[in-house]
Amino acid sequence: MRVIVVGSGIVGASAAYHLATAGAEVVVVDRSDQGQATAAGAGILFPWVMPGAPPATAALGKAAVEHYPRLIDELVAAGVDDPGYARVGSVLVTEDRAALDVVHAGLVEISRQPGMSGLGEIELLAPGEPAARFPPLRPDLAGVWAEGTGRVDGRVFRDALEWVATQRGARRRPGSAALLIDGSRVTGAIVDDETISADAVVVAAGAWSSLLCEPVGMTVPVFPQRGQIVHLALPGRDTGAWPVVQTLSDHYLLAFPGGRVVAGATRESDSGFDFRVTAKGLRRVLGDALSVAPGLSEGTVAEVRVGFRPFSPDGIPTIGGSDRVSGLVVATGLGPIGLTLGPYVGAAAADLALGRTVHLDLEPYRPDRPDTTPAVS
């Protein structure tokens, strides 16, 4: 069976890995667009789904969190030295002590639910303790510690999945894909001037997925949300074990080995595919970072990354095909938590393409689900 995977971000790479592992003939097509979300993503892996997330996202989150460690073990067994993952914990910081108590109680409650032991230890930290773990932080801040939070380098993890897929026979075809349709069946893809036939096509084209599916009459509820994110260099600092820092806003910090600290990120839903670093975006990200971590002020701005999160208006990912167009599986819409959900969603897409059962009710994620977007008044 031949399957084309369009897109080699985290979702496509995972689909290719699972398809090749199952023995399918796989062709991965990728256009290397500027703004691939996987290449820009911060890399925070919370082992819980935020309260208030739609129930469908929460169910997917639980499946994804269980899938991650299994996949990491598989990659290591397949010969990957370092898949780019580490369990570093996280600390939520704020000046609002009452809010800390609420967050602490909420996380303790979640950690007691069945299957949530991955959260590890949850602890209230006195003022100064967060800064002992993440030294650039203000020393007056107290916090809530969650031991189970992970960190992943999305580029490294994506490349690891692709490398193993390639070892198992997957072929990479750089280029821009258009879907090939015969009647009501997708029969392959046209990549630049090459026609590639296939038994199934997985669309894992991130924020571009709706553009790809539109010509075959399929509407995919996804649009680009720009994220600008800053990488700071702190030469000589041993940052490898520093935890993720959360705040009560969208703002966060995390660190990678080699003196690299990442400050994120803007959420710009009206950006379209405008791949630019803006003065307003940079001011926002750096201003937020320095307000909680003034110790970063002497860091060097090493890089600013821009990525387009594949956002769905109702906040629910899209996984599945269409009754009107057969041979097509769409997997996208993971928004701000795609590095967390992506490996599992890619696996589910692979199963659908192969005609296998997926052990999660995929009804809520159908591309043609009823529009549940909250009305704006």
For residue 264, the cross-strand partners are 252
Stretch that binds ligand FAD, among 36-44, 92-100, 313-321, 348-356 (CB under 6 A): 36-44
- Residue span binding ligand FAD (CB under 6 A) among the ranges 121-129, 272-280, 290-298, 307-315: 307-315
Reduce the DSSP state of residue 229 to 3 states and report it: strand
Least distance (Å) from ligand FAD to the CB of residue 15?
9
Min CB(42)–ligand FAD separation in Å? 4
Taking CB under 6 A as the criterion, the residue among 3, 11, 100, 328 binding ligand FAD is 11
The answer to whether residue 213 forms part of the interface with ligand FAD (CB under 6 A) is: no
Cα 342 to Cα 61: distance, rounded to the nearest angstrom: 10
Q: Pick out residues in 247-306 that bind ligand FAD (CB under 6 A).
A: 264-265
Q: Is 339 in the site for ligand FAD (CB under 6 A)?
A: yes
d(CA 203, CA 314): 20
Under the binding rule (CB under 6 A), the answer on residue 38 touching ligand FAD is: yes
Nearest to 20 by CA among 159, 156, 161, 158: 161
Distance separating alpha carbons of residues 154 and 160, to the nearest angstrom: 10
Strand pairing of 260-264 and 252-256? antiparallel
Maximum CA pair distance of the chain? 66
Local structure of 300: helix, strand or coil: strand
Q: Are 32 and 155 in contact (CB under 8 A)?
A: no
Point out which span in 34-42, 80-88, 92-100, 317-325 binds ligand FAD (CB under 6 A): 34-42
Smallest distance, ligand FAD to C-beta of residue 57, A: 12
Between 142 and 222, whose beta carbon lies closer to ligand FAD? 222
Neighbours of 12 (CB within 10 A): 30
- CA separation for the pair 317, 240 (Å, rounded): 32
CB of 47 or CB of 336, closer to ligand FAD: 336
Residues sharing a CB contact under 8 Å with residue 171, sequence separation 6 or more, in sequence order: 26, 27, 28
Q: How far is the CB of 101 from ligand FAD (least distance, A)?
A: 26
Shorter beta-carbon distance to ligand FAD: residue 111 or 271: 271
Figure out which of the listed residues 336, 343, 364, 367 binds ligand FAD, where binding follows CB under 6 A: 336
- Closest residue to ligand FAD, based on beta-carbon distance: 338
Is residue 118 a contact point for ligand FAD (CB under 6 A)? no
Of the residues 78, 86, 106, 176, which one makes contact with ligand FAD according to CB under 6 A: 176
How far apart are the C-alpha atoms of 151 and 147, rounded to whole Å?
12
Q: Is residue 15 close enough to count as binding ligand FAD by CB under 6 A?
A: no
- Look at the block and give the residue holding tokens 């043609």: 368
By CB under 6 A, tell whether 220 contacts ligand FAD.
Answer: no
Residue closer to ligand FAD by CB (options 37, 137) is 37
